Structure 1
Amino acid sequence: MCACANCVWTVTATRLGCEGLGMSLDKTIAHGKEHRRGCTETRRITGRRLQRIRERYFDSHPLCVECEKAGRVRLATELDHIVALVNGGLDFDQDKGKNRQGLCFDCHEDKTRSDLGQRVKKRVGADGWPES
């Protein structure tokens, strides 16, 4: 399914279709071709290209940014968009290095929840008290 705000274009295993539009198969395929030309959905970088970007970033920035702010030392394992794509941020091929940061798994999970408007989980430290 496309993530464009106004698009209902889908591709299913059984047929191509536009949900709720009642189009014939020919019109549906034509809509799909037209949609792909004008689609504003941000394409995500994947595969080897993303892995090269991650490797270069972590070579020069090995620690979690949020943990450093809190006085902890943890390795960054997740390459994060500072402004999430869902909130209009640029992907790694367009940001010129300005919309990325390294986060540990826990900090990345918290930031993702925050970006999506969800409640952030409280973490409990090894001493049994909530972490700040």
Structure 2
Amino acid sequence: MQRISWREDKTKVASRGYGGKWQRLRLAFLKKNPLCVYCERQGKVTEAKVVDHIVPHQGDQKLFWDQKNWQALCKSCHSSVKQREETGSLQKGCDVNGIPLDPNHHWNKKV
């Protein structure tokens, strides 16, 4: 029997943890963290709309509710940069000093 990933499971989002409790905590988190952390690294000011799990929880409820594992992102960064990170692709862009954002970029390697 093939196991279905938590994202492919077609059960309601509330049963996967994204119900009323999540919505309340999400709004409170975004109120305290109103800016996208990825955009801030590039010197841009962008309103965050998404609470992202830094380490993908993949259904692990302890990791899901761990607020130390949350970060505020704009929709654009969540849909592009974060997805590239999770699939192992290079992160594009640089910070205000011109240093590549991707920790795996050869300029960020310690010699």
TM-score, length of structure 1 as denominator length: 0.52
Unaligned runs of 5+ in 2: 10-14, 94-100, 102-111
> What's the offset of the Cα at 1:106?
1.4
1:98 aligns with 2:71: no
Unaligned runs of 5+ in 1: 5-9, 11-42, 124-131
Q: Secondary structure at the match of 1:51?
A: helix
Aligned positions, number: 83
1:117 aligned residue: 88
Percent of counterpart pairs with the same letter?
Answer: 38
Counterpart selection for 2:50 from 67, 78, 86: 78
- Cα RMSD (Å): 3.0
Distance in 2, matches of 1:108 and 1:116, equals: 13
1:35 aligned residue: none
Task: State the Cα deviation string for residues 22-76 of structure 1 (Å, max 9, x = none).
Answer: xxxxxxxxxxxxxxxxxxxxx7311211110111101111000111111000000
> What aligned pairs does 1:1-132 form with structure 2 within 5 A after superposition?
2-3=4-5, 44-86=16-58, 90-92=63-65, 95=66, 97-109=67-79, 110-118=81-89
Distance in 1, matches of 2:51 and 2:25, equals: 9
Higher relative contact order (CA 8 A, sep 6+): 2
TM-score, length of structure 2 as denominator length: 0.60
